[in-house]
Structure formats: structure tokens, C-alpha cells
Structure 1
Amino acid sequence: MPLPRVRFRTGAAAALAAVVLAATACSADATPATPAAGATTTAAVTPPPAGAGFDYQIGGAYTPASDVKVVSRDHTAQPAAGRYNICYVNAFQAQPGAEGEWGDLLLRDANGTVVIDEDWDEALLDLRTADKRQRVAAKVNGWVDDCAAKGYQGIEPDNYDSFTRSRGLLSDADAQAYIRLLSAHAHQKGLAIAQKNTSELSGNRQANGLDFAIAEECGQQKNCGEFTPAFGDHVIVIEYTDSGLKTACSRWGSLSIVRRDHDVVPKGEAGYVRKTC
């Protein structure tokens, strides 16, 4: 069962984000931000409706509430009838226990040790060469094909920011080169594709072919405004605390905003929480 990747920008992580943001702003790959009133999208794909009621169901599917117009579910689940459906895939890291499926595509350090995201006990995928990026994308795009066949309209590729946890082995350029492979394939299938977190790369969203953003805890971290210059109101905000929800609603109320429990359990299970503005 996938769980949300909540990343707090503190200490060294904040410093790294600032460096990446500055480098991105100066790179030839950077594109001017679109007006905050709305972001352009690739032709023939439709992003989720801006400001629509949202539910985050990657921990298990259940019948959405009447106010919900957009739902995100794991790629193994069926989409929700009558809603805009986003298909979640763990695109940059291996699910726990699935390391054997990736062979030489796991990221290893100079000693041959697999690099692990310790927060989630997930092995990072090796995106350092064009060949490996193509091979990783081939597997992930197989899941994207399944999403399209099931009737999903959008893709949520998680862990775009895995380069920040790679011990310096991966760069933001590696991540962006790889996500362009995913976005091109998603668009071929008629699917919109999200930028998940990683606000420091928002300025490159057009070059990377990204159509909307999904931001966890940007109310809590007070950085939702780092997404809106590039994506306009096409930003989905997921908070896990009442304080984060209050801040997001008061400062960025035109976005799609929801509070879920940290384990995003299905409705009816212990610990379930869903609140909106």
C-alpha cells in the first residue's frame, strides 16, 4: 500500500532546495513562468479542473463524497465512476519488497550498496544515464498504459525529488530528463501528468511537459505559492494537519485543498480523516 511522501524542507534539505532553485532559474532549460491566472497545458490532454473538490485515496479506494470531483488512486485500483481520476505510480523509487524487479536499475554507491530512502525503506532508481532512464521509463510506462486502459485521465508520478536523497549521486537534471520521458508517453496516451512536490523545479514545468501540480503539506510549509506562478490554480494541495489545512485555505483558497490522515486509510477504517476548506 503506498503512503504519502511528506517531505519537510528543513536544515540541509532547505539549503539544497535553494541551490537547485537558483540553478534552475539560470539554466537554459528554464522557461518563463505562465501567468498565475492559469497555466497552459499540452494540447489534447486535460488537467483536473482547478479548485475542484479532491480526495486522496492512494491508501485504499472507497466511494467519494458528493463534493468530490477529482480522485487520486493507486495504479492497481479501478478509477471512481463519474470523477476525474488521477493514477498514482511510484516512478522514481522501488516499492518495498519489489527491489528484485529492477535488477541493475537500482541506484548503488561506489561500494555497490543500494541507496535507500530511509523514511520509506525504498530503494532509489538509477537515472544517471540515458540508457537506464529509458529502461526505467519502459517499466513505469507499462503502468501508465494500464492506467489509460482503465480510464484514468491523469498520472501522479511520485518521488520526483528522489535526487535530494541520493547522496549526491543523482541530479535534478537526471530527474528532469527522466520525467520528460514519462510526460511524453502520458501525453501520447491522452493523459495529463502532475509534478509531485519539488517546487524548486516548477519553473521548468513547460519544458518537462507537466500539466498540473500535486503538493503535499505546502500549507504547513507555507510554500504553495511556489507552485502557482507556473501552474496557476491547477494545483492540488494535500495537508495532514489542521494547521496546514487552515493556512492553505486562508492563503490559497482558489486551489483544490484537502486534509487527509497521514496513512490515507479508506473511509470506515480507524484513523480516517477527510476535511476541506
Structure 2
Amino acid sequence: MRSTAGGTRAWGRVLCAALLLPALLAGCGTDAGTAPEAADGTGGQEETAEHWRPEPGVDWQWQLSGRVDTSVDAPVYDIDGFDQDAKTVAALHGGDRKVICYLSTGAWEDFRPDAEEFPASVRGRSNGWEGEWWLDIRRTDVLEPLMETRVEMCAKKGFDAVEPDNMDGYLNDTGFPLTARDQLRYNRLVADLAHRHGMAVGLKNDLPQIPELVDDFDFAVNEQCAQYEECDELTPFIDAGKAVFHAEYELPVADFCPESRELRLSSLLKKYELGVWRRAC
């Protein structure tokens, strides 16, 4: 979902409930955007870490609703961590894909199997979607073990990375007096949890804090930066050799793909329900 100060624009999530990397993508390796083995055997920057790090420009598919279509010709998939099982992840790996685990880390969802484990004291105001409320991210004593259990679930299912959503509560009317410092602390905690379990992690939206968080995250996930004329704010990730997975919902591809190619973003046109349908730049 996309959220902004003064209100929530909750795009990109409906609550109802390739196989080869294109050769034209400059700078990408042979494994879903990972750099190839270096001559000295170190594997370069992308292989020195214990977890995957996608490079700028790598293509992707983002599907958070419906039965996952594993036939889409994209080397990176981003799918729901609760709804999808280890067999789906394994099937995607069998097609030489990397797989990202979508989780909500900044909002409570009453439809998740662990919902009752979140005390009422950490639940704030609605984030604009039925069944979702902002979390008091200051309460890391409560949230850290809960989020670690979720991240561990992703790792056990075989995911390569985590996409933690609702990571910019401090910009919204959450019901809690959250500050930018609170958000930095919490976002770094979530990044550390993913790394602790051997997975990459992406910064979801939260554009104002990119300069401070780019070193803590392995890629970015952004919604509608072209529509809101914000895409330049994502360049610190590109400059660091890290992918920016970007989606638009309302602009035709002709309006944002030229800039996306110039900035080396991994851009898609998607429908709000984030089903199978996509148009890649």
C-alpha cells in the first residue's frame, strides 16, 4: 500500500479474502539480477553477502492476489508470505527465479492467523483498508518477537527476501505520536530480522528516509513514484547498485517507462488488486 502524510492512499492491495533475465538489462548477472562470479572467486559485491542482492533493472512480477501464475517470464517474483506455501516458492525456484515474501510489518491485519497475538494496546487507527490498523512501532518489546516469527516463516518456506509493508507510519495519522526517529529504529530492526534469517530485505516507500536507510536495505519497493513525480528520490538505491522494484497503477506505460529506463528502475504497470496482469517497461 502507498501511504502519505495527511491521509492514506492505500493502493496496490485488495483484502478479499523469465525464466530468463532479458539480455537487454545492462549490468545484470545470470541469477535473477545477481552479479556473476568475479575472476578472483569472490563473486563481486553481490556475492560477498550471505543473502541475495538484486541489481538495478532486473525484471519482476508482483502478485499478491489469486493463485500465483508461475509461468510469467520474470526472474523475480514478489508474493504473499502467508498465502503462499513452500511448494509455490520451490516451483518458482525450479524456474530459476528469486522469490520475495510480502509481509505487513507496520499494520495489524485481523485476517492473519497470528492476529490474536497482537495486544489491543499496539493497534492504532485504520490505515484505510478494511481489517487493517496501524501498529505502535515504538513497542518493539511486543513487535520484535512477533515479526521475527513472521520473518522466520518466510525463511522456512524458502523465500530469498522480504518485502515489509506499511513502513512509513510516522507520515500518517496512526493514533500514536510516531516520529521519524521511531520509524528509523523500527525499519532497521525489520531489516536486521531479515538479514538474521539469511534473506534480503526491501524498503517499501518511505522516500524521505531513503538517504538514511539505503545502507540497511538491499533493494527498494515503490508505488506510484512517477505519478507523484518522486522517482528521482529513489536514485540512492540505484547508485548503490541496488534494485528499485516500482509499480504504477494509473499512468500508461508511455508516460513513465522512458524515465524508468533512464533511471534503471524495474517498473511495471499493475492493476490495484495486484493479480497476474502486468505490463513491464
Bin for the TM-score computed over the shorter chain: 0.7 to 0.9
Which residue does the alignment assign to 2:118?
102
Structure 2 counterpart of 1:83, which letter?
R
Structure 2 counterpart SS, 1:47: coil
Separation (CA, whole Å) in 2 of partners of 1:241 and 1:120: 22
Which residue does the alignment assign to 2:268?
258
For residues 212-236 of structure 1, give each alpha carbon's deviation from its aligned partner in whole angstroms, at most 9, with x where no partner exists.
Answer: 1000111211211101124435101
Which residue does the alignment assign to 1:186?
194
TM-score, scaled relative to structure 1: 0.74
Structure 2 counterpart of 1:238, which letter?
A
For residues 131-181 of structure 1, give each alpha carbon's deviation from its aligned partner in whole angstroms, at most 9, with x where no partner exists.
Answer: x21320211111111111111111100001122222561112112111222
Q: Pick from 219, 228, 233 the counterpart of residue 226 of structure 2.
A: 219
Q: How does 1:2-151 map to 2 (within 5 A)?
A: 5-7=1-3, 12=6, 43-76=49-82, 77-78=84-85, 79=89, 80-81=92-93, 82-97=96-111, 100-107=116-123, 114-128=124-138, 132-151=139-158
Separation (CA, whole Å) in 2 of partners of 1:133 and 1:199: 23
Q: Determine what percentage of the aligned residue pairs are the same residue.
A: 25
Structure 2 counterpart SS, 1:94: strand
Structure 2 counterpart of 1:177, which letter?
R
For residues 163-208 of structure 1, give each alpha carbon's deviation from its aligned partner in whole angstroms, at most 9, with x where no partner exists.
Answer: 222256111211211122221121121111100001111001146x
Asked if 1:210 corresponds to 2:217, the answer is: yes
2:237/2:243 contact within 8 Å kept: no
| Cα pair distance change 1:50/1:223, threshold 3 Å | same
Which residue does the alignment assign to 1:24?
none
1:205/1:230 contact within 8 Å kept: no
Asked if 1:275 corresponds to 2:279, the answer is: yes
1:50 Cα shift?
A: 2.5
1:104 Cα shift?
A: 4.3
Q: Pick from 228, 247, 258 the counterpart of residue 238 of structure 1.
A: 247
1:88/1:157 contact within 8 Å kept: yes
User: After TM superposition, which residue ranges in structure 1, 4 or more long, deviate above 6 angstroms?
Assistant: none
Q: Where in structure 1 are there 5+ consecutive unaligned residues?
A: 14-39, 108-113, 268-272
| Cα pair distance change 1:231/1:141, threshold 3 Å | farther
1:49 Cα shift?
A: 3.6
Separation (CA, whole Å) in 2 of partners of 1:230 and 1:264: 24
For residues 236-258 of structure 1, give each alpha carbon's deviation from its aligned partner in whole angstroms, at most 9, with x where no partner exists.
Answer: 10111243x33331112122111
Separation (CA, whole Å) in 2 of partners of 1:205 and 1:6: 18
Separation (CA, whole Å) in 2 of partners of 1:137 and 1:156: 16
Greater RCO (Cα-Cα under 8 Å, separation 6 or more) = 1
Separation (CA, whole Å) in 2 of partners of 1:261 and 1:102: 31
Q: Pick from 127, 139, 154 the counterpart of residue 161 of structure 2.
A: 154
TM-score, scaled relative to structure 2: 0.73
For residues 94-134 of structure 1, give each alpha carbon's deviation from its aligned partner in whole angstroms, at most 9, with x where no partner exists.
Answer: 11345543114424xxxxxx422234552111122xxx213
For residues 52-106 of structure 1, give each alpha carbon's deviation from its aligned partner in whole angstroms, at most 9, with x where no partner exists.
Answer: 2211111234224453111101112132232111100000001134554311442
Separation (CA, whole Å) in 1 of partners of 2:167 and 2:50: 24
